[in-house]
Every structure is written in structure tokens, then in C-alpha cells.
Amino acid sequence: MPGRTHSREFKLDIVNQVNGGQQTTAQLCREYALSPGLIHRWRKEVEARGEAAFTD
């Protein structure tokens, strides 16, 4: 079964909420049924690629 596909905007919103201290990773995981590892990968992507994150 393939996983869900999230938009670039959704991923950036989640990362910005964590990085901005608005919500914790745990809160977002519960609210959106995401795994902590997934949010961690998204944060690393933004850290590494900045504005180019989540684009091919």
C-alpha cells in the first residue's frame, strides 16, 4: 500500500511550525497522523536545500 502524498506547501507549513516553535513534532504527529521520522526528514530537506526543498 503506497503512502500518502503531501503537497510541498503542506510540508513547508509543518516544518515552519516546528522550527518556529508554534507546535512540537509530537503535537503535529498526533494532529495529522504523521510519523516523527517523516517530519525529521522534511526538516533535514529544508535545512539542506532551503527554498528548493521538495522540488525535483
The whole-number pLDDT of residue 51 equals 87
Alpha-carbon gap, residue 34 to 44, rounded angstroms: 16
- Identify whether 2 is part of a domain: no
Question: Does a structural domain hold residue 1?
Answer: no
Q: Is residue 39 part of a domain?
A: yes
Of 19, 15, 53, the residue nearest 34 (C-alpha): 15
Domain extent at residue 48: 8-52
- pLDDT of 32 reads 96
- Kindly state whether residue 26 falls inside one of the protein's structural domains: yes
pLDDT tens by residue, 1-55? 467 899 999 999 999 999 999 999 999 999 999 999 999 999 999 999 998 999 9
pLDDT at 4: 87
In the chain, the number of structural domains is 1
Question: For residue 1, what pLDDT is reported?
Answer: 47
